[in-house]
Amino acid sequence: MRIDDSTRQDILAAVPGLRAFAISLCGNVDRADDLVQEALLRALANIHSFQPGTNMSAWLFTILRNHFRSEYRKRRREVEDADGHYAESLTSHPEQHGQLELSEFRTALNKLPDEQREALILVGASGFSYEEAAEICGCAIGTVKSRVNRARTRLAELMAIQGVDDFGPDHETRAVLVGTRRG
């Protein structure tokens, strides 16, 4: 298996985002890292099919997403633990401002259908255009837009922030509303 240095750098540069995407798909950091590893091995085995000059990151996301759907989806969330292991393994400073909100947000995000969640992450966090997200997901641009819209609406409902200017201080009430488990 041969890759040149710039290809290697491009792949490495994509890894942090791939992990973040994988975690959002798997809901579990260890499984997400296994998914990233398997996706990278697949990518390397098929590196000849990568078109130089095109978007390496989008190519890798596509491989990871397809691998997830073919292999991981059925295994996913057997040990569903949206607010436990997932949050713990990510949160280095639980007392830090915003961590509680973030934890609620993850819980809400995990309640979205897969298609909506992945569309929202790709467009809203990974920085892909709607066109790129459509290619990664193998669907039409309009479908991505629709999924992103529905994802936002549902999240707003789950976070109970629709029509509210600020998330405000009332975490406990929202935690009850979204059914957040703690401790």
Partner 1 sequence: MNPGKPTGQMSSLADQDDKKKSTKASRLDRGTRAKLGQQLRAMYDEVVSQGVPSRFSELLNGLDNNEGKQNAH
Residue ranges that bind partner 1, judged by CB under 8 A: 1-3, 8, 11-12, 15-17, 19-20, 23-24, 33, 36-37, 40-41, 44, 90-91, 98, 101-102, 105-106, 109, 120-121, 123-131, 140-143, 145-146, 148-150, 152-153, 155-156, 159, 161-167
**Least distance from C-beta 107 to partner 1, angstroms?**
11
Q: Residue 124: what are its φ and ψ, rounded to 5°?
A: -90, -20
C-beta of 48 vs 74, nearer to partner 1: 48
* Residue 68 CB neighbours (<10 A): 23
**Least distance from C-beta 152 to partner 1, angstroms?**
6
Let me know: does 110 contact 87? Beta carbons within 8 Å: no
Distance CA 55, CA 160 (A): 37
Give, for 135, the enclosing helix (H) or strand (E).
helix 130-137
**Least distance from C-beta 159 to partner 1, angstroms?**
8
50 secondary structure, DSSP code: S
SS (HEC) of 81-104: CCCCHHHHHHCCCCCCCCHHHHHH
C-beta of 41 vs 79, nearer to partner 1: 41
**Least distance from C-beta 111 to partner 1, angstroms?**
14
**Least distance from C-beta 16 to partner 1, angstroms?**
4
C-beta of 1 vs 95, nearer to partner 1: 1
Q: State how far Cα 28 lies from the chain centre.
A: 11
